[in-house]
Amino acid sequence: MKKVGVAILGLGVVGGGTYKILTEHRDKYIKTHGVDITVESVLELRKDRALALGVEESRIASNISEICSNPEVDIVIEVMGGVEPAKSYVLAALNAGKSVVTSNKELYCKYGYELEQAAKHNHVGLFFEATCVGGVPVIRALLDNLQGNKITSIIGIINGTTNYILTKMTDDGKSYAEVLKEAQSLGYAEADPTSDVEGYDAAYKLSILSSICFNKKIPFADIYREGITNISEDDIAYGKKLGYVIKLLAIGKDAEKGVEVRVHPSFVRATHPLASVSDSYNAVYITGDCVEDVMLYGRGAGALPTGSAIVGDVIYCATHTQHRYSTFPNTEKAASSTKFITNFESAYYLRLLAADRAGELSKVTSVLGRYGISVAKVVQDIDEKNRNGEVNLILVTHSTKESNVKKAVAAIGKDISDTRVVSVIRVLV
Ligand code: HSE
């Protein structure tokens, strides 16, 4: 019987879930894989957490060196989050000849290359399925099952907190601030929600996923990022009338002209498969030249779903002797030869508050026409809030360049005295 010892760095939500899976399913892995995986050590400053999970006191390490020098530990699971001290601990483990399984998206996104070099040098493995989309097995699907394809695009709902907030705003007609507060009190959103609501979390994941999809390093810094804090319940309601659902999308595209990577709120047709991904669920919609469209759906976070991804990596690592590393130069330097498209094309939803009088709409369409923007839909809605001669005028454009929209919005503000653009939301085409 092959014996494999693991150490877990951090026994928070995900670390605790991982510990539970490994201990409760230990006999299953012996039967199915012929490998006895035991938790030999944990590193957790809050001893009470470890003891509450049933960890024997003798297995609680007081520092990383104890774990690195423990000959019973073969694999180190890092679930601490953040860059430091996680980075130093992971490097110490790799340099001590331990394979590492990590769920740390920020660390892998920013320092994946450095960690991989250390893994390579020490002939050990570095696994990171849990960095992206929790329990949804997207990384191995891309690395193994879909590797025969040229992947042309990946569109994901890869942040559960924002998907939960946007779903609640849509279903209950409540404001962003109100729903955020509720989500925080229920523990669905962090006390400091910045990383989720401003799109950083999704951008780290998009950097990792699109690098694998397109076989080239996609640095975090090259990802356009916009969060959900300015989305209003009014726009969600108008979007609904037009047959759209609002989502925070992470979009990666690889075309001849260059790579496009962006995270921002977007209206999605209600008939698109991503539109039905609600609450805190996640999904990635991948297009490959052979397979066409594939959508993977599931829980993107949580103790057991993320633990599932981690344990999958642990078993993979425990049952493979040959480790695999990136097949492309995964460095920021290599990325300098990649052309990134920043003036991307999209359809746009524009909401204007306009004077309700003859000729006003034609002034707006004339400005749009000046910048080559063609209108696909127009809706005028006098709602309860705007009966003082102003109307909400909603226009959806055909696909156009982002720069055209920016120029047109500025020109409307300057050239049309009683009309202003209050919202601009991209629409997935
Ligand atoms: N904070 C993330 C989310 C989960 O809301 O999806 C961890 O990646």
Mutate-to-test residue for ligand 1 from 128, 161, 284, highest number of ligand atoms within 8 A of CB: 161
Per-residue pLDDT tens over the stretch 30-81: 999 999 999 999 999 999 999 999 999 999 999 999 999 999 999 999 999 9
Global pTM reads: 0.96
For residues 375 and 418, state if they share a domain.
Answer: yes
For residues 46 and 113, state if they share a domain.
Answer: yes
Atom of ligand 1 lying closest to residue 162 CA: 5
pLDDT at 384: 58
The domain that holds 185 is classified in CATH as 3.30.360.10
pLDDT at 27: 98
Task: Judge whether residue 223 has pLDDT over 90.
Answer: yes
Atom of ligand 1 lying closest to residue 160 CA: 6
Per-residue pLDDT tens over the stretch 134-154: 999 999 999 999 999 999 999
pLDDT at 386: 57
Q: Mind spelling out the 3-state secondary structure of the chain?
A: CEEEEEEEECCCHHHHHHHHHHHHCHHHHHHHHCEEEEEEEEECCCHHHHHHHCCCHHHEECCHHHHHCCCCCCEEEECCCCCCCHHHHHHHHHHCCCEEEECCHHHHHHHHHHHHHHHHHCCCCEECHHHCCCCCCHHHHHHHHCCCCCEEEEEEECCHHHHHHHHHHHHHCCCHHHHHHHHHHCCCCCCCCHHHHCCHHHHHHHHHHHHHHHCCCCCHHHCEECCCCCCCHHHHHHHHHCCEEEEEEEEEEEECCEEEEEEEEEEEECCCHHHHCCCCEEEEEEEECCCEEEEEEEECCCHHHHHHHHHHHHHHHHHCCCCCCCCCCCCHHHHCCCCECCCCEEEEEEEEEEECCCCHHHHHHHHHHHCCCCEEEEEEECCCCCCCCEEEEEEEECCEEHHHHHHHHHHHHHHCCCCEEEEEEEECC
Q: Amino acid letter at 330?
A: N
Instruction: Give the lowest-confidence range in 77-81, 239-243, 329-333.
Output: 329-333
For residues 354 and 264, state if they share a domain.
Answer: no
For residues 91 and 148, state if they share a domain.
Answer: no
For residues 168 and 286, state if they share a domain.
Answer: yes
How much distance in Å is there from the Cα of 133 to the middle of ligand 1?
8
* Cβ–Cβ < 8 Å for 235, 392: no
Using the 3D structure, point to which of 102, 131, 160 is the last residue of a domain: 131
Average pLDDT value for the chain? 96
For residues 289 and 154, state if they share a domain.
Answer: yes
The stretch 413-418 carries a mean pLDDT of 92
Using the 3D structure, point to which of 300, 328, 358 is the last residue of a domain: 300
How much distance in Å is there from the Cα of 128 to the middle of ligand 1?
15
pLDDT at 334: 85
Using the 3D structure, point to which of 84, 106, 131 is the last residue of a domain: 131
* Token pair for 97: 């000849």
Which residue segment(s) compose the domain that 15 sits in? 2-131
pLDDT at 329: 86
How much distance in Å is there from the Cα of 219 to the middle of ligand 1?
20
For residues 175 and 126, state if they share a domain.
Answer: no
Per-residue pLDDT tens over the stretch 68-110: 999 999 999 999 999 999 999 999 999 999 999 999 999 999 9
For residues 62 and 78, state if they share a domain.
Answer: yes
Query: Whose alpha carbon is nearest atom 2 of ligand 1?
Result: 159
Q: Is residue 40 part of a domain?
A: yes
Query: Whose alpha carbon is nearest atom 4 of ligand 1?
Result: 301
Mutate-to-test residue for ligand 1 from 163, 192, 196, highest number of ligand atoms within 8 A of CB: 196
Q: Is the CB of 104 under 6 A from ligand 1?
A: no
Q: Is the CB of 402 under 6 A from ligand 1?
A: no
How much distance in Å is there from the Cα of 331 to the middle of ligand 1?
25
Q: Is residue 325 part of a domain?
A: no
pLDDT at 321: 86
* Cβ–Cβ < 8 Å for 80, 176: no
Catalytic (active site) residue 3: no
Catalytic residue (choose from 98, 105, 205, 247): 205
Q: How many domains does the chain have?
A: 3
For residues 284 and 355, state if they share a domain.
Answer: no
The domain that holds 16 is classified in CATH as 3.40.50.720
The domain that holds 404 is classified in CATH as 3.30.70.260
Per-residue pLDDT tens over the stretch 172-198: 999 999 999 999 998 889 999 999 999
The Cα 407–Cα 258 span in angstroms is 23
